[in-house]
Amino acid sequence: MKLNYYVLWTQDNIMLNNYLNKYYTLLITYLTELSDTWILTQEINELLKINNRDFILNPDYSSIINLLYKEIIKLNKQNLWNINKYIDKLKNEINFFLKWNFSNLSSNIWTNISWTNIKLTDIDLNPYNILEAHPDHKSNWVWLWWWECSQEEWLKIYEKTFELLKQVDSWIYSELNKIIKKIIPIWTSKWVHNSCSYKECIWHLYLWYTIDSSNPEINNLEAIIHESSHNKLNLIMHFDPIILNTKEEKYYSAIRPDARHIHWVFIWYHAFAPTMYILMKAYRDWYLWNDDFWLEKIVLYHIKTKFLQKVIKKYAKLTKLWIEISEEIDYVIGLMDEILKELNPSKEVINRAREKQIEHFKQVNFKYPHLEY
């Protein structure tokens, strides 16, 4: 099939470039409307006179622009302390950019991850980063820090992650190296690697470090593909809706332990298919060292992804664009099916995965007996 790479990756993604152009134009509109009020009129007008694309599309600044537009233009809030704080931040950065150059801005402090153009840093101006964006996080606050590992340890493991990514799939490495600007540490933990990203802050990834993993670069790889997939949809959703279903409808998701609108089922469907496809490729090509844990996880989440597919096919009322995106996800799931045949997991592994999925279904069905399925 002809791919527009809504789901997979390519070395020069025309679809992404087109949406980035649209996003840049949208942000210019936001700035223009802000300058017509009392907000940074002089600074914005000076910024709009020069070559400003890299500055405006930088997630540190685009996220502040999104916040100010939403709060001041759409919601007409003009005297809140947090708004004034971000007005001052944007003013300082614009003035610095006008006088000096982009590379010396505070948002660009810290070194790149080796072999990439991506920074690993706890310096982040995104105003939305104070809010948890993952449903399993235990607080309502994000703490940007290195926690139990040093900055050097974080940098070393992410260098290893991107080296692995380049070996597993050079096209995703190429695309992510062009679009992802920062990876920002938010936690170290055992057993789990949560992650998050924000619709208002395109191309920043907020990631954990799984300190007890035998191969933490694999946990990183999984999270990076997952969140970069969310970023693609976040970019598109600034312009095009996904689902036409009413918000009252709640559906079973094979990923979550709770009831979710089918909008979220589709977002997970879009993220889990390419994530598990890459993990399957990594396992097939011996980058997971024949690890039984990852094989069982791959089989389980292959089953879960197929379950998401069934729910979307049966219940989602999709726009024309999102039908096209759904067809690309189907294509990726077909690739997953082929790799799973190559992996040829044992009946015991398949049966354990099926039992876990059946148990998950039973638990959710017990808690939410009135869900649509």
Q: Diameter of the chain by CA atoms?
A: 68
3-class secondary-structure state, position 237: coil
CA distance 209 to 219: 8
Q: What is residue 250's predicted lDDT score, i.e. its pLDDT?
A: 82
Give the global pTM. 0.93
* Closest-CA residue to 151 (of 176, 188, 181, 177): 188
Pairing of strands 201-210, 182-189: parallel
> Which residue reads 């820090």 in tokens?
145
CA distance 255 to 244: 22
Check: CB of residue 335 under 8 Å from CB of residue 278. no
CA distance 58 to 125: 10
Q: Average pLDDT of each block of 10 consecutive residues along the chain (373 residues)?
A: 94 95 98 92 96 95 96 82 89 90 72 92 90 54 75 93 96 95 88 87 93 89 96 95 80 85 91 96 88 91 95 93 96 98 96 95 84 71
CA distance 257 to 241: 25
Q: What is residue 131's predicted lDDT score, i.e. its pLDDT?
A: 67
| Number of CB atoms found within 10 A of residue 171's CB | 13
* Closest-CA residue to 39 (of 81, 86, 82): 86
Which helix (H) or strand (E) segment holds residue 210: the answer is strand 201-210
Q: What is residue 103's predicted lDDT score, i.e. its pLDDT?
A: 65
Q: What is residue 268's predicted lDDT score, i.e. its pLDDT?
A: 92
The distance in angstroms from the start CA to the end CA of the chain is 29
Check: CB of residue 124 under 8 Å from CB of residue 133. no
CA distance 187 to 181: 19
**Which amino acid, residue 351?**
N
